[in-house]
Amino acid sequence: MLIAACKAKRAKHPLQVGDIAPDFSLKDENEAIRTLSEFRGHNVALYFYPKDQTPGCTAQACSIRDGFTDLKEAGITVIGISYDLPKSHQKFKEKYHLNFPLLSDTDKRVSKLYNVSGIWFPDRVTFLINKKGRIVKILRDVSVKDHAREIIAAFSGQQNE
């Protein structure tokens, strides 16, 4: 009952394709403050994931790592967000040689802003944001093993100015 009430509350103001992606400031794996606005002028895949070092999240991160060259050639910057602490992100990045920033949403503020906050973990959702900061696609049912290719295909089907 509590979970259903939380999901109903989140659904009141969901972000939609065409909305400007809300800006935020979060610490990365090195505890540097990163903002979404610093990536303005780039196509961004902002992906929320449940937890570092878990099987599905590791497969998803490694898919992005392995597809990094193709993502870069397509002009796409990837940013991962979970509730984990920067130290956890740092260990995760080092262990799997991840080549993109991981941000810590420890107070769940950004996950709530994007309507993906769960009680213990954020929902696995990827927001595709164009160079002007507008959401052009929301990927909710992602393939963790093929996520890089999904991101590229979804962006290639959009008008990205």
Q: For 13-48, what is each residue's pLDDT tens digit?
A: 689 999 999 999 999 999 999 999 999 999 999 999
> Is residue 160 scored above 90 in pLDDT?
no
Query: Residue 64: how many CB atoms within 10 A of its CB?
Result: 23
Catalytic annotation present for 57:
yes
pTM: predicted TM-score of the whole model, two decimal places: 0.88
Q: What pLDDT is recorded for position 157?
A: 75
Q: What pLDDT is recorded for position 8?
A: 40
Domain boundaries, given as residue ranges, for the chain: 16-156
Assign domain 16-156 to its CATH architecture.
3-Layer(aba) Sandwich (3.40)
Q: What pLDDT is recorded for position 82?
A: 97
Catalytic option among 26, 44, 57, 76? 57
44-58 pLDDT, tens digit per residue, is 999 999 999 999 999
61-115 pLDDT, tens digit per residue, is 999 999 999 999 999 999 999 999 999 999 999 999 999 999 999 999 999 999 9
Per-residue confidence band for 156, with pLDDT thresholds at 50, 70 and 90: confident
**Rounded to whole angstroms, how far apart are CA atoms 40 and 66?**
24
Query: In this structure, which amino acid lies at residue 8?
Result: A
Q: Where are the alpha helices (DSSP H) in the chain?
A: 2-10, 55-66, 68-73, 86-96, 109-113, 147-156
